[in-house]
Amino acid sequence: MMRRTLATATLTAALLAGGGTAGAFAVQNGDGDRGDAAQSKITISEAIDTALGAAPGTVTGAGLDDAEWEVDIHGRDGDRHDVTVDAATGEVVSTERSDGDDHDPSAQDAPVTATRAAEAAESAVPGTVTSVQLDHAHGPGGTVVWEAEVRGLDGREHDLTVDVKTAKVSTEARGASDAESDEDGSDGHGSDGHGDACDQDRGTDGD
């Protein structure tokens, strides 16, 4: 299963879209390479749809890396597939079988699909989703969740957790002083530090 950290993915203002007003579960400074997301002409949902056309099944992860969308699929044939989709053209670059990891969550553990998780994340934090991944929240055997990354309108990367049964997004607002402290290398705790934790339910109807 794909375990890439897509912390460098960013997006220019012309490509940013989304709604909602929730804070991020975690916020990181967006100082990385802007090339990948800026070159992407298709969304994560479009990449997922294309990948499923090449390898029908259930998506357990998708992320943008090196101007390509990498999509992990538990196939209907019982195998696991890694499908790569060109982020500029939307065409399938490659489809390979993967051994996966016995400790990875099963697609059966997530009634909420990858596409719905991405939509919930983007609704919670305005911006562009660059990654969704089905994973255990606290290591093998822990609660199964969707982990999502969003390049926000504020230019930062936001890490969120999406409930696999309700599509509810767990968020924690973070004060401006924390972001400034991060740039200075400090721990960012202070009078304007971490805000109150909140949960934003983005609906339970759907798929």
Distance of alpha carbon 32 from the chain centroid: 17
State the pLDDT confidence band at 109, using cuts at 50, 70 and 90: confident
Q: Is the pLDDT of residue 142 over 90?
A: no
For residue 53, which of 80, 29, 73, 23 has the smallest C-alpha distance? 73
- This prediction has a pTM of 0.68
Residue 63 is predicted with a pLDDT of 97
The answer to whether position 87 is within a domain reads: yes
User: In the predicted model, what is the mean pLDDT of residues 19-38?
Assistant: 42
State the pLDDT confidence band at 175, using cuts at 50, 70 and 90: very low
The answer to whether position 176 is within a domain reads: yes
The answer to whether position 185 is within a domain reads: yes
User: In the predicted model, what is the mean pLDDT of residues 146-151?
Assistant: 95
The answer to whether position 193 is within a domain reads: yes
Domain that holds residue 111: 13-201
Which residue pairs, CB below 8 angstroms and at least 24 apart, start in 176-185? Answer: 178/27, 179/27, 179/29, 182/28, 182/29, 183/29
Strands 26-28 and 68-75 come out as unpaired
The answer to whether position 88 is within a domain reads: yes
The answer to whether position 76 is within a domain reads: yes
The answer to whether position 139 is within a domain reads: yes
Domain count, the chain: 1
CA-to-CA separations, 100 to 50, 93, 118, in angstroms, rounded: 21, 20, 22
Contact 46, 90 (CB under 8 A): yes
The answer to whether position 4 is within a domain reads: no
Q: CA 75, CA 42: separation in Å to the nearest integer?
A: 23
